[in-house]
């Protein structure tokens, strides 16, 4: 039975009648397609395209909402490039992204490899690692604030026990971002689930073949599992990077919006939010939003381009 | 296959073109609409499609309705009052002041809402967002010092007419305190309460270190020497007790600059963050962080801070600069050490100084009940409300913004409080400027940098001066 | 590594490793529960104690008095409920149109949907705020659920993947029988994708439940606060009373954990679907 699509396409030479009937059906179906998609088309226009354009427009103005805006050309951008806090926030965000994202992939993949082993209590272990990712971010910060208290916290107590003098964590400039990365890693359970699904997608034949070749466990992991898991890693890399660049709730609730100490927790989106809603510099904040957009596009594009070098899709060699 | 690709490619281009056209059309109409008055029509349209399910929005709607009715029919009006103070304030203020006000004004109900401070000042991003969003509270308890910058932004209601109509005189308040409520000759707030800073010292620790506990340091140099003897480390090489940390609690760089004889504005109201004495003060603060190791100090004060208790009251701190309000904590704690309070030491050859801050009541721009809000402010922040609040049973150590009320309350009879009260007439207040809170944030920023050893005091403060001037230029444009 | 058989030594090693790491993952959670049951005097004990000498269950009812918990709960449920209904209405419609209806707009629309998934929320945040402000909706919960009625790109993507996996013969046969598109959608397709619908409903509900930035910007009146705003306000108002805070945290986290155990399958399915093309 030919698909309707294809049959509709080879109609150039057929008779008028058939053509009419077919275009009639196409018209009807197009109408339905359009109507079904209408909420989203309207949504795209109202909540994506319109704000995107307005945001570009605001970025060229000095606008506080309370008073009418004023067109200032590229001044917001030139001011931004001279704004030290802007650069600090970029540094902090990159620091976080470049350390957290790779780390979360390593931790996620390693955990998934272990959780994929056929051992007793597999289900319990999986649940164990997944539960923290269910804790709301606001709650996460409060729990960790308590755990990482340098004087009364559980973490430094444990470190103390194994003979390490614990760092001041969130209170210190050098340790605040590592603390944040630690907190974020606590919630990697979701990624583990994705990797596990990816692992289960790898056909058993590959392993059987390797077994015949006499490859040991690690060799099989290296030559079969990891390469075939790369599409999933690739996906997590993109999602993780975009998410990390937008890091907001954890540092904001942790420092009550201040980014202390010494701006070491001032992340890009936090500074954007502070500029916009803390100082009502909507133009300035919009300029920052567009720069963020560009950064996201560029990084995503880079990852996509790199894909050819390291991502292996099954069936393609 | 290729053919098909080409076709969809072309079609998607066409589609993008269509999309863009549609967006432009929408953008233009929306820009045209945005000046239209929003409330009435949109509220109605929303009511029809979400009436049964969305109780919250109907709530919001009904308060709006009742308020508009309120002004026409004379039914009770509810004014929304935001405050950033935690603890017992809500309960106490309601019982001692708001209830009395509501009794006297049966037509006005006051709804109190706690909204925490965020960002780097004593105000709240949320308050500003609500003002910008066109849905502000009617009254806010507001850090007086921010009035300049917020008024310059157009986010506060001008109260000048109300003030002159009601016969309130600037002389009712301390001079510096009133000045903080005025920006460009217009009154934006009524001052309410004031405070200033002194030095709390731990007599027990002083004795242990071999000093006469009844002779607190008079100069900063003496303070340095005494503090040094009190620092003590525990077994894990962390501080178990602290002599003095210049930036602990109220020891902001702002405070220390005045203690060093520095200044923040010159006689013609130019801001002077890089005054030579200010530079010395910042360098002195940075000296402490170097000498006593900043991460070790931070770990101590963080651990203290996160317990929620004022570090001084733990008995592990020798000296601290803090406000008169911490005397209020005494009711809560049983202390196992002896302590005293004195004016903050000054640099050699200078007299002890302090600076006063405090709070005020403002009407955010866009309040829907300006008249009722003013009635409320006038009540709470003038003599009647001030007295009611100051007379509450657990008010012991507050200083009101009205000298006459302080006299009536005989505050000077409280020896601890008298230290602060006596400093009041000469107390500095921070410059009122559109860049006021910007300057404050900048000082906090460079303080943070300086004590973390990032940059030298002179360079940092020159940069502050440059930034502040740029900010002012931006504001005046 | 699929069906690799492990030796006993290896098994013991793997178990030991998983137990140690698992303990690290679980201990913050347990510490929260433990703290929530402590008396004020045991909070700052050194060394820390895991099991309180007296279980202070009364922390829970007491914590309810610190913030108007049930009011915030109701507010949160209202928003989460409306947003969930909204995505259940809009997303399958759109996904069906993109995945199963052979019309010209389907492919470009799907491409745009994928692109929009990458658009950071912050880019559109300010203009949308200003637009909602002009409608007088700032300070109401409308901005927190209304947009969901117009589709959420990630969910559309997810459902589209699901629809693509259904056999093509389904609607072909129905079309030949003369069934209308609406009937095909409503009577054949929707029932088939019930599991996927459960998944997106769950995700939206959780998203609304844990959302912080949206309520932070749009809700100004304390009576409209969600639980997340409430707990943050709790923290700044009574930050030293850890046992009360932890009790509240347990109460806002527990519903999600319970939900997870109830519909574990939908959870895992949703997460895996998002990762596998």
Please give the Cα distance from B380 to B192 (Å, whole number). 8
More confident residue, C117 or B199: B199
Bin C60: left if φ > 0, else alpha if -120 < ψ < 50, else beta: alpha
| Model confidence at B36: pLDDT above 70 | no
Tokens of B143: 């850090």
pLDDT of residue A43: 94
Domains of chain B (ranges; CATH) run 64-195+357-426 (3.40.190.10)
pLDDT of residue A157: 87
Per DSSP, the three-state class of A221 is helix
Average pLDDT, chain A: 85
Tokens of A143: 């729990």
pLDDT of residue B261: 93
pLDDT of residue C261: 86
Q: How many beta carbons lie within 10 A of that of residue C89, not counting itself?
A: 13
Residue B16 vs residues A33, B11, B20: alpha-carbon distances, Å: 17, 9, 6
Tokens of A185: 């890693």
| Model confidence at B31: pLDDT above 50 | no
Give the position of tokens 């499609």: B49
Closest approach of C33 to chain B, Cα-based (Å): 19
- C17 neighbourhood in chain A, CB within 8 Å: 114
Mean per-residue pLDDT, A164-177: 86
CB B174 within 8 A of CB B194: yes
The H or E element that residue B143 is part of is strand B139-143
pLDDT of residue A103: 96
pLDDT, tens only, A241-272: 999 999 999 999 988 888 877 788 999 999 99
Question: CB A217 to CB C275 under 8 A?
Answer: no
CB B170 within 8 A of CB B379: no
CB A227 within 8 A of CB C3: no
pLDDT of residue C275: 52
Report the percent of chain A where pLDDT is more than 70: 91
Closest approach of B3 to chain C, Cα-based (Å): 15
Q: Which chains touch A (3 or more CB pairs under 8 A)?
A: B, C
More confident residue, B88 or B208: B208
Mean per-residue pLDDT, B54-58: 36
pLDDT of residue B141: 94
Tokens of B344: 């903050």
Backbone angles phi, psi at A170, to 5 degrees: -60, -25
CB C32 within 8 A of CB A143: yes
pLDDT of residue A19: 53
More confident residue, C45 or B110: B110
pLDDT of residue B259: 95
pLDDT, tens only, B378-389: 999 999 999 999
pTM: 0.77
Tokens of A297: 């596009």
Please give the Cα distance from B360 to B194 (Å, whole number). 9
pLDDT of residue C76: 95
More confident residue, A210 or B194: B194
Question: CB C141 to CB B136 under 8 A?
Answer: no
Question: CB A42 to CB C150 under 8 A?
Answer: yes
Please list the alpha-helical segments (H only) found in chain C: 8-36, 59-66, 69-100, 106-117, 121-134, 142-145, 153-164, 169-176, 181-183, 190-192, 194-210, 213-218, 227-237, 242-262, 264-275
Q: Would an 8 Å CB–CB cutoff place B52 in contact with chain A? A: no
More confident residue, B119 or B347: B347
Closest approach of B308 to chain A, Cα-based (Å): 12
Q: Would an 8 Å CB–CB cutoff place A255 in contact with chain C? A: no
Q: Count A/C contacts: CB-CB distance under 8 Å.
A: 288
Please give the Cα distance from B173 to B356 (Å, whole number). 13
Domains of chain A (ranges; CATH) run 4-58 (no CATH), 76-310 (1.10.3720.10)
pLDDT of residue A90: 96
| Model confidence at B333: pLDDT above 90 | no
User: What is the rounded end-to-end Cα distance, in angstroms, of chain C?
Assistant: 22
- C134 neighbourhood in chain B, CB within 8 Å: 33-34, 36, 38
Q: In chain A, whose CA is at the least distance from the CA of C250?
A: A139
| Model confidence at C241: pLDDT above 90 | no
Average pLDDT, chain C: 87
Please give the Cα distance from A97 to A91 (Å, whole number). 10
Closest approach of A174 to chain C, Cα-based (Å): 23
Q: Which of B296, C242, C248, C235 is nearest to A146 (CA)?
A: C242
Question: CB A135 to CB C29 under 8 A?
Answer: yes
Question: For residue B345, what pLDDT band results from cuts at 50, 70 and 90?
Answer: very high
Please give the Cα distance from C75 to C63 (Å, whole number). 18
Mean per-residue pLDDT, B191-201: 93
CB B429 within 8 A of CB B356: yes
| Model confidence at A289: pLDDT above 90 | yes
CA B299 to chain centre: 25
pLDDT, tens only, B269-307: 889 999 999 999 999 999 999 999 998 898 888 777 766
Average pLDDT, chain B: 82
pLDDT of residue B123: 65
pLDDT of residue A65: 87
- C252 neighbourhood in chain A, CB within 8 Å: 136, 139
* CATH number at C67-237: 1.10.3720.10
Q: If interface means Cβ-Cβ distance under 8 Å, which residues of chain B face chain C?
A: 8, 11-12, 15-16, 30, 33-34, 36, 38-39, 42-43, 46, 50, 53-57, 59-60, 80, 86-87, 113-117, 126, 129-130, 132-137, 306-309
pLDDT, tens only, A175-230: 999 999 999 999 888 888 888 888 888 888 888 887 777 777 788 888 888 888 89
Question: For residue B475, what pLDDT band results from cuts at 50, 70 and 90?
Answer: low
Q: How many beta carbons lie within 10 A of that of residue B216, not counting itself?
A: 22
Please give the Cα distance from B72 to B65 (Å, whole number). 11
CB C157 within 8 A of CB C94: no
Mean per-residue pLDDT, A130-148: 91
| Model confidence at B64: pLDDT above 70 | no
Q: Which of A290, A281, A287 is nearest to A59 (CA)?
A: A287
Per DSSP, which regions of A74-222 are E strands? Answer: none
Q: Which of C257, C201, C191 is nearest to C82 (CA)?
A: C201
Identify the weakest region by mean pLDDT among A233-237, B419-423, C135-139, C165-169. C165-169
Q: Which of C46, C126, C91 is nearest to C202 (CA)?
A: C91
pLDDT, tens only, B79-118: 999 998 877 888 899 999 999 999 999 999 999 988 877 7
Question: For residue C212, what pLDDT band results from cuts at 50, 70 and 90?
Answer: very high
Mean per-residue pLDDT, B306-332: 86
CA A286, A292, A295 angle in degrees (round to 5)? 150
- B238 neighbourhood in chain C, CB within 8 Å: none
pLDDT of residue A273: 92
| Model confidence at B317: pLDDT above 70 | yes
Q: Where are the domains of chain C?
A: 8-59, 67-237
Closest approach of C193 to chain A, Cα-based (Å): 16
| Model confidence at B398: pLDDT above 80 | yes
Question: CB A151 to CB B300 under 8 A?
Answer: yes
Q: In chain C, whose CA is at the least distance from the CA of A299?
A: C118
CA C111, C113, C118 angle in degrees (round to 5)? 105
CB C37 within 8 A of CB C221: no
Question: For residue C83, what pLDDT band results from cuts at 50, 70 and 90?
Answer: very high
Mean per-residue pLDDT, C51-68: 88
| Model confidence at B52: pLDDT above 70 | no
């Amino acid at each position: 039975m030919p698909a309707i699509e294809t049959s509709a396409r080879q109609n150039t030479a057929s008779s008028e009648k058939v053509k009419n009937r077919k275009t009639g059906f196409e018209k009807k179906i197009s109408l339905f397609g359009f109507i079904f998609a209408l909420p989203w088309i309207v949504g795209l226009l109202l909540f994506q395209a319109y704000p995107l354009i307005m945001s570009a427009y605001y970025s060229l103005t000095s606008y506080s909402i309370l008073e009418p805006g004023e067109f200032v050309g590229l001044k917001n951008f030139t001011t931004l490039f001279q704004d030290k806090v802007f650069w600090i926030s970029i540094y902090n965000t990159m620091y976080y992204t470049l350390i957290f994202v790779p780390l979360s992939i390593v931790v996620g993949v390693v955990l998934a490899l272990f959780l994929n082993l056929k051992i007793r209590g597999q289900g319990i272990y999986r649940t164990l690692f997944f539960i923290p990712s269910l804790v709301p971010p606001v709650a996460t910060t409060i729990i960790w604030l308590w755990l990482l208290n340098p004087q009364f916290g559980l973490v430094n107590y444990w470190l103390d026990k194994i003979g390490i003098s614990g760092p001041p964590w969130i209170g210190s400039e050098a340790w605040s971002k590592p603390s944040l990365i630690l907190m974020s890693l606590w919630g990697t359970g979701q990624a583990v689930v994705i990797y596990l699904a990816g692992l289960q997608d790898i056909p058993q034949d590959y392993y059987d073949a390797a077994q015949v070749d006499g490859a040991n466990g690690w060799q099989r992991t290296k030559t079969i599992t990891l390469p075939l898991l790369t599409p999933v890693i690739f996906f997590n890399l993109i999602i993780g990077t975009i998410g990390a660049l937008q890091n907001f709730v954890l540092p904001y609730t942790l420092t009550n919006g201040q980014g202390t100490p010494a701006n070491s927790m001032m992340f890009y989106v936090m500074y954007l939010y502070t500029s916009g809603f803390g100082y009502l510099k909507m133009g300035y904040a919009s300029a920052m939003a567009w720069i963020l957009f560009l950064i996201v596009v560029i990084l995503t594009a880079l990852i996509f381009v790199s894909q050819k070098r390291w991502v292996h899709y099954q069936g393609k060699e | 296959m290729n053919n098909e690709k080409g076709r969809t490619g072309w079609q998607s281009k066409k589609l993008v073109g269509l999309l863009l056209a549609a967006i432009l059309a929408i953008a233009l109409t929306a820009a045209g609409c945005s000046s239209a008055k929003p409330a009435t029509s949109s509220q109605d349209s929303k009511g029809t499609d979400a009436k049964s399910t969305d109780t919250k929005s109907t709530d919001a709607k009904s308060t709006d309705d009742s308020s508009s009715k309120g002004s026409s029919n004379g039914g009770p009006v509810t004014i929304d009052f935001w405050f950033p103070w935690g603890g017992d304030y809500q309960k106490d203020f309601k019982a001692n002041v708001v209830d009395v006000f509501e009794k006297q004004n049966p037509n006005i109900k006051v709804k109190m809402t706690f909204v925490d401070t965020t960002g780097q000042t004593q105000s709240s991003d949320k308050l500003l967002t609500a003002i910008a969003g066109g849905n502000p509270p009617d009254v806010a308890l507001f850090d007086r010092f921010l009035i300049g910058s917020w008024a310059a932004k157009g986010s506060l209601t001008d109260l000048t007419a109300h003030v002159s109509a009601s016969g309130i005189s600037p002389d009712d308040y301390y001079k510096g305190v009133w000045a903080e409520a005025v920006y460009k000759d217009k009154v934006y707030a009524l001052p309410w309460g004031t405070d200033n800073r002194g030095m709390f010292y731990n007599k027990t620790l002083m004795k242990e270190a071999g000093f006469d506990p009844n002779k607190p340091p008079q100069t900063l140099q003496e303070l340095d020497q005494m503090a040094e003897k009190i620092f003590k480390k525990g077994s894990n090489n962390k501080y178990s007790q602290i002599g003095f940390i210049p930036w602990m609690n109220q020891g902001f760089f702002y405070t220390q600059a005045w203690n060093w004889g520095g200044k923040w504005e010159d006689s013609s109201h130019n801001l002077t963050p890089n005054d030579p004495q200010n530079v010395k003060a910042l360098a002195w603060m940075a000296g402490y962080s170097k000498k006593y190791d900043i991460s070790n100090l931070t770990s101590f004060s963080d651990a203290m801070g996160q317990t929620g208790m004022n570090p001084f009251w733990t008995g592990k701190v020798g000296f601290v600069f803090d406000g008169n309000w911490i005397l209020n904590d005494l009711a809560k704690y049983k202390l196992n050490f002896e302590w005293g309070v004195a004016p903050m030491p000054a640099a050699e050859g200078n007299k002890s100084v302090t600076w006063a801050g405090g709070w005020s009541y403002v009407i955010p721009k866009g309040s829907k009940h300006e008249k009722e809000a003013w009635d409320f402010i006038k009540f709470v922040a003038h003599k009647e409300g001030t007295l009611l609040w100051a007379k509450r049973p657990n008010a012991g150590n507050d200083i009101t913004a009205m000298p006459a009320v302080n006299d009536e309350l005989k505050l000077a009879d409280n020896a601890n409080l008298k230290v602060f009260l006596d400093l009041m007439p000469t107390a500095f207040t921070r410059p009122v400027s559109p860049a006021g809170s910007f300057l404050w944030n900048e000082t906090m920023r460079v303080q943070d940098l300086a004590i973390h050893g990032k940059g030298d005091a002179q360079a940092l403060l020159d940069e502050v001066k440059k930034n502040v001037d740029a900010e002012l230029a931006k504001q005046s444009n | 590594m699929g069906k690799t058989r492990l030796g006993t030594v290896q098994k013991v090693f793997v178990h030991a490793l998983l137990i140690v790491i698992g303990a690290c993952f679980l201990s913050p959670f347990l510490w929260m529960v433990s703290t929530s049951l402590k008396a004020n005097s045991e909070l700052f004990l050194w060394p820390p104690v895991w099991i309180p000498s007296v279980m202070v269950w009364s922390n829970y009812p007491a914590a309810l008095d610190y913030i108007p918990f049930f009011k915030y709960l109701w507010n949160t449920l209202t928003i989460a409920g409306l947003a969930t209904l909204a995505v259940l209405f809009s997303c399958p419609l759109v996904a069906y149109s993109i995945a199963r209806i052979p019309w010209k707009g389907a492919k470009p629309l799907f491409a745009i949907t994928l692109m929009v998934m990458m658009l950071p929320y912050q880019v559109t945040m300010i203009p949308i705020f200003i637009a909602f402000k002009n409608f007088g909706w700032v300070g109401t919960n409308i901005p927190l659920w209304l947009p969901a009625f117009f589709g959420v790109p990630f969910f559309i993507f997810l459902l589209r993947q699901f629809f693509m996996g259904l056999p093509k013969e389904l609607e072909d046969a129905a079309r030949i029988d003369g069934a209308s598109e609406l009937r095909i959608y409503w009577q054949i397709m929707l029932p088939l994708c019930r599991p996927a619908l459960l998944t997106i409903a769950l995700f939206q509900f959780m998203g609304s439940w844990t959302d912080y930035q949206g309520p932070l910007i749009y809700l100004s009146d304390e009576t409209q606060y969600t639980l997340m705003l409430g707990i943050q306000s709790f923290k700044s108002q009574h930050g030293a009373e850890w046992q009360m805070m932890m009790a509240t945290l347990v109460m806002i986290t527990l519903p999600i954990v319970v939900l997870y155990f109830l519909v574990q399958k939908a959870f895992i399915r949703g997460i895996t679907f998002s990762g596998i093309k």
